[in-house]
Chain A
Amino acid sequence: MTTLAAQAPGASRPRTTVRPSSFGRLVAAEWVKFRSLRSTWWTLAVGAVLMIALAVLQTWGTSTIPDDIEFPNLSGAVFVTGGAFLGQLAFCVLGVLAITGEYSTGMIRSTFAAAPRRLPVLWAKLVVIFSAVLLVSVLAVALSWVGSMPWFDELGLAIDLGNSDDLRIMLGTPLYLATATALAFAIGALVRHSAAGLAIVLGLLLVVEQAFALIPWRPLEVISPFLPSTAGSRLTMDAATQQMMDAGSDVATLTPWQGYGVLVAWVVVLLALAAVLMRRRDA
């Protein structure tokens, strides 16, 4: 640490090539940032492992239930994507930290000095984290499928990607997970504080949405179907599950894509709010 280059910079060397900042370069830079943190790989791995382990365990566990016990007739795709709820917790942590980590360490000032228009940074980060979670969860769903296969025959399960419902669940689950991560990212960008962001996102997923669904008080019952995860996760359910959930309910029932649309609307509104504040607030 005590040796410094004696020669000062700039002495008889060509000037460094500096190109204009562009969105593509910002995405590339955000990818460098994303891949160069250990926490990225840990959270992605935890999310994927949870998804795979739960799917396999659920399939195996069901196969050990004696034949004479009545069991709902679920589709194979639901078994294979059964770990998504737990997996999303890890991905949402990643989503929050992707932005709050920059604020808590001061990195955001370096980031904004390099991209003073700020908003392209928000979109570039979103592109990177959305794509990464989408890719990892597609992979996790595929591995869950492979891992669960040994018990498919015994349970009479099958997944046919030619069947539109099966295809929707198998690809909709990764899509839902990536969008839920985007929601967590938007909340992180709004509160700019890791602990607060994590508390809000996990509180929403684990407490608020569950409570709204369970408390038999009319206003909560009416709102419940439109909460982000409750609505969005309908994309990952088969017809049997949806019927089971909607049985006896007199509030709005959303189709899978309507539900996903509601989640997307949440993300859009929160991101728009985060964008306005990001431009306005001092870094």
Chain B
Amino acid sequence: MIEATGLTKRYGDKTAVDGVSFTVRPGMVTGFLGPNGAGKSTTMRMIVGLDRPTAGHVTVNGKPYAEHRAPLGEVGTLLEAKAVHTGRSAYNHLLALATTHGIGRKRVDDVIEMTGLQAVAKKRVGGFSLGMGQRLGIAAAMLGDPRTLILDEPVNGLDPEGVLWVRNLLRHLASEGRTVFLSSHLMSEMALTADHIIVIGRGRIIADAPVGDILAGAQTTTVRVRTPQADALTHALRTQGATITALEQDLLEVTGSSAPAIGEAAAATGVVLHELTPMHGSLEDAYMQLTAEEVEYHSTPVPQPGAPGRPGAVPSTAPNDTPTEGALR
């Protein structure tokens, strides 16, 4: 359980986190979602006392983090890949952390095995890839078998198998009744892992709701229709109250109707259809709608050939699960 109240962090006159309040509950995976620079990492660092809040306070499992007698047994933290001395081996890094809490070598071996680091455990961390660094960070977080896990971008740099493993691990830990709080800037990853999502943008909480609710907000269905008789179909659909945008001479985008209804209308008026494609608002869409105003670093929109009209919408036959940050605009 993590409870933050009015948490604020200012650096000079720049406000990184602006009075956020939220509760992260045990027994589920809570996602912390936001664009880069939104204040995710700063918030997480304040939870474990690495950054001192300018105002507000935060408790973990009922107490400020620093007041726990065995903090590693309460909270496991992965704050950034490679918060590790590059000259030390993975094994000795974990052993040093374990020693602070009287955790035995057996557990160190266990977490090394759990994260698949056996082959490199005795090597110096300086040579580790980003993915290996992430695994080591997760191993360190798991050392004290903590009731609460706080993970900042845990799947960054992991291969697909690693991503899947982290996802299953987190879901399993939550099912054991633990509190799991992870951040990401990838909505698609969150949708697969989290039960509840807190969206942050420019230091403020924009949304705090179950995944289903956030998804439902994004479900505006658009249908793309290709027909040589565009005018006839437009007329027929308008009478049904649908909104039609002509993208090309023979390509229409219809909102306020459905694919079956459009198909039936076409059959009834004798219009030939070459294409009838329902387009679902993707998770990325929902996320971008939520954060559109809150993105700290805007990138220049890149023209997307083949996706005219609403740029984020994708054909439902090809679900957009390629997580790219460049899609933020």
Contact = CB atoms under 8 A, between A and B. Distances in A.
Interface stretch (A17-25, A61-69, A129-137, A216-224): A17-25
B276 interface: no
B145 A25 contact: no
A102 B96 CA distance: 13
Given A28-B99, A105-B86, A1 B92 contact: no
Interface stretch (A5-13, A88-96, A151-159, A248-256): A5-13
A194 B131 CA distance: 27
A18 B162 contact: no
Interface stretch (A78-86, A109-117, A160-168): A109-117
Given A5-B114, A21-B69, A32-B95, A110 B101 contact: no
Contact of B49 (A1, A2, A108, A116): A116
B52 interface: yes
B145 A29 contact: no
B293 interface: no
B120 interface: yes
A114 B71 contact: yes
Contacts of B84: 105-107, 110
A30 B92 CA distance: 11
A29 B100 contact: yes
Contacts of B82: 105-106
Contacts of A36: 88-89, 92, 95-96
Contacts of B103: 16-19
B77 interface: yes
A230 B78 CA distance: 46
Contact of A4 (B100, B115, B132): B115
A73 interface: no
Contacts, number: 156
Interface residues of B, number: 62
A202 B79 CA distance: 34
Contacts of B321: none
Nearest to A30: B96
A113 B50 contact: yes
A280 B172 CA distance: 38
B169 interface: yes
A116 B48 contact: yes
A84 to B, nearest CB: 27
Interface string B68-85: 111111010101101111
Given A1-B119, A10-B173, A101 B85 contact: yes
B97 interface: yes
B295 to A, nearest CB: 25
Interface string B45-71: 100111110000000000001101111
B13 interface: no
A18 B144 CA distance: 6
A102 B73 CA distance: 23
B116 A5 contact: yes
A280 B79 CA distance: 20
B159 interface: yes
A109 B168 contact: no
A32 B52 CA distance: 29
A102 B85 contact: yes
B127 to A, nearest CB: 12
B87 A101 contact: yes
Contacts of B288: none
A28 to B, nearest CB: 5
Contacts of B68: 116
B172 A8 contact: yes
A244 interface: no
A1 B97 contact: no
A17 B102 contact: yes
B162 A19 contact: no
A37 B50 contact: no
Contact of A112 (B50, B69, B142): B50
Interface in A248-283: 280, 282-283
B71 A113 contact: yes
Interface of A: 1-5, 8-11, 15-21, 25-26, 28-30, 32-33, 36-39, 101-102, 105-110, 112-117, 280, 282-283
Given A2-B159, A21-B71, A113-B71, 8 more contacts: A8-B169, A8-B173, A9-B172, A17-B103, A18-B103, A36-B95, A36-B96, A37-B88
Q: Top 4 closest A-B pairs, CB basis?
A: A19-B102, A18-B73, A36-B92, A116-B66
Interface of B: 45, 48-52, 65-66, 68-73, 75, 77, 79-80, 82-89, 92-93, 95-97, 99-104, 107, 110-111, 113-116, 119-120, 131-132, 140, 142-145, 159, 161-162, 165, 168-169, 172-173, 176
23 contacts: A2-B159, A4-B115, A8-B172, A9-B111, A16-B110, A17-B104, A18-B102, A18-B103, A19-B102, A21-B69, A21-B101, A32-B92, A33-B88, A105-B85, A105-B87, A106-B84, A107-B85, A109-B80, A112-B50, A113-B75, A113-B83, A116-B68, A282-B51
